Amino acid sequence: MSKLNTYEDAVAAYEPVLGLETHIELDTRTKMFCGCSTTFGGEPNTQVCPVCLALPGALPVANRAAIEATIKIGLALNCSIAEWTRFARKNYFYPDMPKNFQTTQYEEPLCEEGYVDVTVDGKPYRVEIERVHLEEDTGKTLHVGGATGRIHGATESLVDYNRAGIPLVEIVTKPVPGTGALAPEVARAYVTELRDIVRSLGVSDVRMEQGSMRCDVNLSLNKPGAEWGTRTETKNVNSLRSVERAVRHEVRRQSALLDEGIKIIQETRHFQEGTGETSPGRSKEEATDYRYFPEPDLAVMEPSREWVEELRASLPEPPRQRRERLQAEWSLADKEMQSVVNADAVELIESTIAAGAASSSAVKWWLGELSRRANEAGEELGALQITPAQVAELQGMVDDGRLNDKLARQVIDGVLVGEGSPAEVAQKRGLEVVSDTGALEAAVDEAIAANPAVADKIRGGAHAAAGVLIGAVMKATKGQADAGSVRQIILDKLAG
Amino acid sequence: MSDRIIDQTAAELSAGIREGRYTSVEVTTAFLDRIDAIDGTVKAFLHVDREGALATAAEVDADIAAGKETFALAGVPIAIKDVVVTKGMPTTAASKILEGWIPPYDATIVERIKTARMPILGKTNMDEFAMGSSTEYSAYGKTLNPWDTGRIPGGSGGGSAAAVAAKMAPLAIGTDTGGSIRQPGAVTGTFGAKPTYGSNSRYGLIAFSSSLDTPGPVARNALDAALLHEAISGHDPRDSTAIDAPVPPVVAAARAGATGDLSGVKLGVVKEFKEGSDAAEPGVIAAYEAAVEQLVKLGAEIVEVSCPSFAYALPTYYLIAPSEASSNLARYDGVRYGLRAGDDGKHSLEEVMSLTREAGFGPEVKRRIILGTYALSAGYVDAFYGKAQKVRTLIKQDFEQAFESVDAIISPTTPFVAFKFGERTGDPYQMYLADLYTIPSNLYGGPGVSVPVGLSEGMPVGLQVMGPVMGDDITYRVAAAFESTQDTLLADTAPEIEGK
Amino acid sequence: MSTISREEVAHLARLARLEVTDDELDAFAGQLDVILESMKTLAEVDTDGVQPTSQAVPLVNVFREDQPQPSLPRDAALAGGPDTFEDRFRVPRILDEEA
Ligand SMILES: [Mg+2]
Ligand SMILES: [Zn+2]
C-alpha cells in the first residue's frame, strides 16, 4: 500500500495537469467493418462473421454511418474535420483482438483541434480536444478460476467476440493545466459534458455502467512554475464518480512520492472501484512497439465539405446552450440548475414538463423525493423505475386533491416496485385522500372529544394548537385525509 | 490433336460439353483419373474433391440436357490454389498452422466459380502463405516440375501451374503477390495472368501482402485464361480495394490477338531490365529475343523505355510485402482456429501463442515475419517501410510514364529456367531474384501475363507482357498473337509423366 | 559491421510472438543481414517530397451502408476453435494486462 498525502496538502504543494482519453461505442446497427449486429447482450459468439472473427481471407469495409457519427461528434466538439484521412493498423497481440492488430487511426485522425467548455464552482474552464478518431472495439474476456473474476489469479480465460469490431470513437484531450485543487471536479465536469454532447447527438447511448463509454485518466503533478511532471495513465475508470476519485487518488499518491524525492514512472494503472485507489499494471519488460502503418485493406477517406456541412446543419442544440435556455424557462437559480445538472435530471424534468407537470413540480419531485430514493438505492436517477409521464400523472393527482404529499410518496413506493401507474397503485393500495366530509367531521368530533383542553385553547384563539387535533385525525384516517381540509373543519367547529 | 479429353483446352472442353460431344461428368472424371494416375508423382494437389466435383458436373449435365442456359465455362473443371478460402473444403495456405481448418465461407472468386458451375477438383500446393518462388516452402512437401521432376515448378503457385502443365486440370486459380502466377507459369510452360490489382476480389484470399496480392487465372493458353479471367473478375463490395469499373474485354482481346496482327502496337522494352540482367541466363535471353522477333514480324513496334527506379523494385518489394505480412499473419495465434501448441496447463497464453507460431510456421514465413517486424518497428519504419513506400511511388511514376509512349511492356518472365530443388533455399536472396521482372507490375498495380515462348536447356521460358492499370486486354492480345505464331502449344510438348 | 544482431532478432521474434530456437536465431541473423544490406540501397534514392504509396490502385471513400448482414451460425463460428467452452473460445491464463 503506497503512502498518501491528504488532498489539501497535495494541492497546496503541487499543480496537477489532467488529460482524458475517452472511448465511446457508437450505436450503429452494424459493426465498424462488417455487417454483424451490435445489439448488446447477445448469446456469446452469435454476432460474429469471417471479418470480425478475423478468419483467414476476410476483409473490412468501413461503415458509412460510423464515419458520419464520428464527424458529428467532432463538429459538436468544435473540431476541424480532416479533408484527407485514413485508417492505420496498431499491431499488438491480445486474445480479445481477433486480428492481433486494431484498425484505428494514427497520424491522420478524422477530427482535430476542438474544445469543450465546462463550469465548475462558477468558474469556466476550456478543455481542449486534441483529436477524435474512429477505431474498433475488442471482444470480451471472462477470467475464470481467480477469486474476483480479474485477470490476476485466473487459471484460464474465455473469449466472446460479439463486441469485437463495434465502432469505437476515441476522444483525446490536450493536457489541461491550471485547474488546481479543482482538477477532480473539472475532470468529472468534462466527462459529463462530453457524455451529454454525445447523447444529444443520438449516436451512442453513452452508458458508463454498460461500458459504452469508458475513460482513461492521465495525471501529472509539478511544483508551481516548474515543468510538467511525468504522467500516469489510469485505465478503465467507469463512472463519473470514479473519474473524480481516480484523479483525487493520483494527486494524493503522486504527491507523496514526489515529497520523498521518488520519480514518477510513466505507467499504466488500474482504478479499483472498491477502494477508490489506483494500482500499477504489470510492468512490461519491453516497451510496446505498435508498428503502426496505413491500413492497406481500406481506402483513404476524403470527407467532402458538402457532406460535413450537411452533418453540421443536422446537429441539435448544444447541451450547454440548451441548459441555459431551460434554466431561464424553468426560472431556476444557478445553484438549482447546477443541482439539476449534477443529478443528471435535465431530460427527466423536461419530459415531465412535456407530460403536463408545472416546471416547479417537476423539479421538486426529481430533485427531492426521487433523488433521495436514487441515493438510497445507490442508483442513477434515470435508472429508477418511474417515468417522467408517471411523475406528471402523480403531480396531477396531487393538484386534483386526490393525493397529499404523504400519500404521493406511498404511491411512489408502489410505482418503483412495479405495481403500475400512480393511479393504479393508489387504487390497489387504497391510497386516495378521504374526501367524504361526513367521515372527516366524525373523526374531528372524536378528536375534539378526546382532547377537550386543546379544543378550549383553540376556541380561545390559539389556532396553532389545531396541529394536535389534525395529527389525531390523520392518525384515525391513516393519513388519507387532506390536512388543509381537516384544519378548516376543526376551525369551523371551534369558531367563536 | 489428340482425342484425349485432358489434351483439350478449356475453350474446346466448354464447347464440347455444350455441344454434347462429351458430358461434364466425363470431362471431370478424365481429369480426376489423371490426378489419380500421376499426382502421386507430381504432388500438385493438397486436397482432391472427387465427389464434389462430380456432383457439380452432374448438375451441369442435367441442365444442359434440359436445355437450360449455362455460363461459358460451365462443366469445365478447375483447381484452386490452397490460399483461396473454400467453404467446407480444407484450406491451409500450405501451412501447418492451418492444418485441418475447414472454412465456413467461400472467397468471392470461389463463389463466382460456383456460379459459373465449374467443378472444383481440389486445392493445389504452394509455398506456405504464398511466400516463395519454388513451392519448396510448402509444409506438405514439394511439388515437382512435370518437365523435369528434379526441378522446381516455380512458386508460390507451383501446384496450380504443375496441375495445368501435367494436364490434371485444364484451368487453375493462382495468386500473384510478386510473380506467384507468372513465374510458375513460365517455368512449367503454362499461361499465367496477374490481373490489374483491384480488378479481382481479394475477399477470401488468405492475405500475404494486402497491397500486392492479386488472384488470377492459370491456363494452357491466353484464350482459356481470358475466359476464366472474365468469370472471376469484377467489382466486389466486400473488398474495399476492388475497382468499381467494367472488366477489360480480355476474351475479345485474346481472340483479336489470335488473328496474328499486331500492327500499330507499340511494345516497350525497359532499358534498365536489360542492364540489370546479370542474373538472367543466356538461354532465357535467347528464347526471349526470338519471341520478340516474332512479335515484330506480326507488326509490333519495339520502343525502348526507361524506368530508372527499376533497380530498386526488388528491395522495395521485400520491405513492403514482409511488413504487411507480419501484420496479416498475426491472427494465427491458436485462439480461434488452426493449430494450438504447448497448451499443457503450464504455459501462459503468451507462451502458447509463441509456441503455436513456432510450431506452425516454416522458416521462410518466420524469416519474413521477422523482417517485416523489423521494417515497421519504431526507429526503422521511416528508413525501411516508409522509404519503400516512397520508392514505390517513383516506380509507379516510371511505369505510368512509360505507358504514355507504349501500349505494353515486354520482358522475360523470370531470369532463369526452373532450378533444381535445394539450389536456392540456402540463400534467400538468390531465391528472391526469381521475381526480379515480375515484381514491378505488383508494385505499380498493372496487369502482367506470362506466355510460354520456348525452351532453354529443355526447360520452358516465358515472355512477360505488362500493361497499364486496367489495360489487361492488351496483355492478352499480345500474348495470343505470339501463340498464333506457334504450331503447337508449348504445354503440349511436355514429356509424358509416369504415374507412381 | 552487420545490420542486425542476434539479440535484435530475438527482440523482433518476441514482438512477433515467435518462439525461435538458438539455431534459428543464428541462421536468421545471417540471412536477414544479407537481405537488409540489399535494402539499404534504397537510402540512395532521393525521395524528398515524394508521397508514399500504400495502395496499388488508390481508391477514395469506399463505404458500406449500415445494413445488418447475417452473422455466422454459432457452431460454424466456434467450429475452428482449438478449445471452446460454453460457447466461448478458451485460452490459457493471460499474463499481460490489456495494452
Ligand atoms: Mg485507442
Ligand atoms: Zn462480423
Q: Which of residues 410 through 439 in chain B touch C, CB cutoff 8 A? A: 427-429, 432
Q: Which residues contact A439 (CB under 8 A, 6 or more apart)?
A: A477
Other C-beta atoms closer than 10 Å to the C-beta of B89 total: 18
Answer whether residue A383 shows pLDDT above 90.
Answer: no
Is residue C16 within 8 A of residue B329, CB to CB? The reply is no
In whole angstroms, what is the distance from residue A399 CA to residue A392 CA? 10
Answer whether residue A436 shows pLDDT above 80.
Answer: no
Within A281-368, where are the H helices?
A: 305-313, 319-329, 334-342, 346-354, 359-367
Q: Which residue in A265, A264, A273, A269 sits closest to A281, CA to CA?
A: A269
Select from C8, C20, C41 the Cβ nearest to the Cβ of B358. C20
**Active-site entry in B14, B24, B43, B81:** B81
Model confidence at B212, pLDDT cuts 50, 70, 90, reads: very high
Average pLDDT of the residues in B406-423? 96
Is residue B133 within 8 A of residue B123, CB to CB? The reply is no
- The CA-to-CA distance between both ends of chain A, in Å, stands at 76
Q: Give A289: exposed, middle or buried? Use CB within 10 Å, 0-12, 13-18, 19+.
A: middle
Answer whether residue B414 shows pLDDT above 90.
Answer: yes
Task: Give the tens place of pLDDT for each residue, B348-389.
Answer: 999 999 999 999 999 999 999 999 999 999 888 988 999 999
Residues with CB under 5 A from ligand 2 (ion): A 34, 36, 49, 51-52
According to the model, what pLDDT value does residue B279 have? 75
Mind telling me how many Å the CA of B288 is from chain A's nearest CA? 35
With respect to CATH, is domain A437-493 assigned 1.10.760? no
According to the model, what pLDDT value does residue C99 have? 43
Q: Does B251 touch chain A (CB under 8 A)?
A: no
Residue of C nearest to B432 (CA): C35
Q: Give A103: exposed, middle or buried? Use CB within 10 Å, 0-12, 13-18, 19+.
A: buried
Pairing of strands A293-294, A277-280: unpaired
In whole angstroms, what is the distance from residue A385 CA to residue A367 CA? 16
Answer whether residue A479 shows pLDDT above 90.
Answer: no
**Active-site entry in B14, B133, B160, B180:** B180
Core vs surface per residue A403-427: b (16+ CB within 10 A) or e: bbeebbbbbbebbbeeeebbbebbe
CATH class name, domain C6-42: mainly alpha
- Helix (H) or strand (E) run with residue B313 in it: helix B313-328
Q: Domains in chain B, ordered, with CATH?
A: 5-307+398-493 (3.90.1300.10)
Within C1-99, where are the H helices?
A: 6-15, 22-39, 74-79
Q: At CB < 8 A and 24+ separation, what contacts does B420-426 make?
A: B420/B150, B420/B151, B420/B152, B421/B134, B421/B136, B421/B142, B421/B150, B421/B151, B421/B152, B422/B136, B424/B133, B424/B134, B425/B134, B425/B136, B425/B137
Whether B81 is catalytic is yes
Residue of C nearest to A289 (CA): C15
Task: Give the tens place of pLDDT for each residue, B112-123.
Answer: 999 999 999 999
Answer whether residue B265 shows pLDDT above 70.
Answer: yes
Q: Which residues contact A187 (CB under 8 A, 6 or more apart)?
A: A18, A20, A217, A243, A244, A247
Bond before B156 cis per omega within 30 degrees: yes
Residue with cell 485441418: B100
Other C-beta atoms closer than 10 Å to the C-beta of A225 total: 6
Is residue A34 within 8 A of residue A139, CB to CB? The reply is no
% chain B with pLDDT above 90: 90
Answer whether residue B2 shows pLDDT above 70.
Answer: no
Pairing of strands A88-91, B266-270: unpaired
Beta-carbon separation of A302 and C78 below 8 A: no
Which chains sit next to B, with 3 or more Cβ pairs under 8 A? A, C
Model confidence at B415, pLDDT cuts 50, 70, 90, reads: very high
Q: Which residue in B470, B483, B477 sits closest to B214, CA to CA?
A: B470
Residues with CB under 5 A from ligand 1 (ion): A 170
Task: Give the tens place of pLDDT for each residue, A13-69.
Answer: 999 999 999 999 999 999 999 999 999 889 999 999 999 999 999 999 999 999 999
Average pLDDT of the residues in B130-159? 97
Report how far ligand 2's centroid is from the alpha carbon of C57 (Å). Answer: 26
Residues paired with residue A168 on neighbouring β-strands, in sequence order: A25, A135
**Residue B6: helix, strand or coil by DSSP?**
helix
In whole angstroms, what is the distance from residue B141 CA to residue B42 CA? 11
Q: Give A131: exposed, middle or buried? Use CB within 10 Å, 0-12, 13-18, 19+.
A: buried
Q: Which residue in B6, B41, B186 sits closest to B497, CA to CA?
A: B41
According to the model, what pLDDT value does residue A467 have? 87
**Residue A258: helix, strand or coil by DSSP?**
helix
Counting Cα atoms < 13 Å in the Cβ hemisphere of A97 gives 19
For chain C, give me the number of helices (H) and strands (E)?
3, 3
Chain C partners of B197 at a C-beta cutoff of 8 Å? Answer: 56-57
Of B250 and A456, the one with more pLDDT: B250
According to the model, what pLDDT value does residue C66 have? 98
Write the single-letter amino acid at B178: G
Whether B180 is catalytic is yes
Chain C partners of B198 at a C-beta cutoff of 8 Å? Answer: 56-57, 59
Select from A92, A95, A298 the Cβ nearest to the Cβ of C94. A95
Q: What is the pTM of this model?
A: 0.89
Chain-centre distance of CA A451, in angstroms?
Answer: 54
Residue with cell 390536512: A483
Write the single-letter amino acid at A19: G
Average pLDDT of the residues in B134-161? 97
According to the model, what pLDDT value does residue A395 have? 93
Report how far ligand 2's centroid is from the alpha carbon of A36 (Å). Answer: 4
Q: Which residue in B495, B308, B293, B272 sits closest to B397, CA to CA?
A: B308
Chain C partners of B104 at a C-beta cutoff of 8 Å? Answer: 72-73, 76-77, 79-80
Q: Where are the domains of chain A?
A: 7-311, 319-429, 437-493
Beta-carbon separation of A95 and C68 below 8 A: no
Chain A partners of B327 at a C-beta cutoff of 8 Å? Answer: 89, 91, 101, 291, 293
Residues paired with residue B462 on neighbouring β-strands, in sequence order: B452
According to the model, what pLDDT value does residue B433 have? 87
Q: Does B66 touch chain A (CB under 8 A)?
A: no
Rounded (10°) angle between helices A405-416 and A422-429: 100
- Alpha-carbon separation of residue A283 from A235, B284, B493, C97, C99 (angstroms): 14, 58, 66, 9, 11
Report how far ligand 2's centroid is from the alpha carbon of A54 (Å). Answer: 9
DSSP character at residue A334: H
Instruction: Identify the nearest ligand to the CA of A59 by its number.
Output: 2
Chain C partners of B318 at a C-beta cutoff of 8 Å? Answer: 35, 38-39
Whether B156 is catalytic is yes
Chain-centre distance of CA A70, in angstroms?
Answer: 20
Residue of A nearest to B91 (CA): A56
In whole angstroms, what is the distance from residue B368 CA to residue C39 CA? 14
Is residue B114 within 8 A of residue C93, CB to CB? The reply is no
β-sheet with B301-305: strand ranges across: B45-48, B120-124, B78-81, B172-176, B214-219, B191-194, B448-456, B459-466, B408-412, B266-270, B301-305
Q: Which residues contact B137 (CB under 8 A, 6 or more apart)?
A: B94, B127, B128, B131, B155, B156, B362, B363, B364, B365, B425
Q: Which of residues 125 through 184 in chain A touch C, CB cutoff 8 A? A: 138, 141-143, 145, 151, 154-161
Task: Give the tens place of pLDDT for each residue, A129-166.
Answer: 999 999 999 999 998 887 666 676 788 999 999 999 99
Answer whether residue A284 shows pLDDT above 60.
Answer: no
Instruction: Identify the nearest ligand to the CA of C68 by its number.
Output: 2
Residue with cell 497464453: B349
Tell me the average pLDDT of chain B: 95
The DSSP-derived string for B191-212 is EEEEPPTTSS--TTBPPS-TTT
In whole angstroms, what is the distance from residue A410 CA to residue A378 CA? 20
Is residue B39 within 8 A of residue B497, CB to CB? The reply is no
Q: How many CB pairs under 8 A join A and B?
A: 99
Answer whether residue C84 shows pLDDT above 70.
Answer: yes
Average pLDDT of the residues in B320-327? 97
Q: Does A64 touch chain C (CB under 8 A)?
A: yes
Q: Does B105 touch chain A (CB under 8 A)?
A: yes
Beta-carbon separation of C56 and B330 below 8 A: no
Q: Which residues contact A252 (CB under 8 A, 6 or more apart)?
A: A4, A5, A6, A7, A10
According to the model, what pLDDT value does residue A282 have? 64
Cell of B443: 508494385
Beta-carbon separation of C24 and B363 below 8 A: yes
Average pLDDT of the residues in B392-413? 97
Residue of A nearest to C91 (CA): A157
In whole angstroms, what is the distance from residue A256 CA to residue A253 CA? 5
Residue with cell 463495434: A166
According to the model, what pLDDT value does residue B155 have? 94
Pairing of strands B266-270, B408-412: parallel
Select from C52, C59, C71 the Cβ nearest to the Cβ of A36. C71
Q: Comparing A380-394, B54-68, B207-221, which segment has the lowest mean pLDDT?
A: A380-394
Q: Does A50 touch chain B (CB under 8 A)?
A: yes
Cα four-point dihedral sign C29, C30, C35, C38 = positive
Q: Which of residues 11 through 30 in chain C touch B, CB cutoff 8 A? A: 12-21, 24, 27-28
Chain-centre distance of CA B338, in angstroms?
Answer: 25
Task: Give the tens place of pLDDT for each residue, B433-462.
Answer: 889 999 999 999 999 999 999 999 999 999
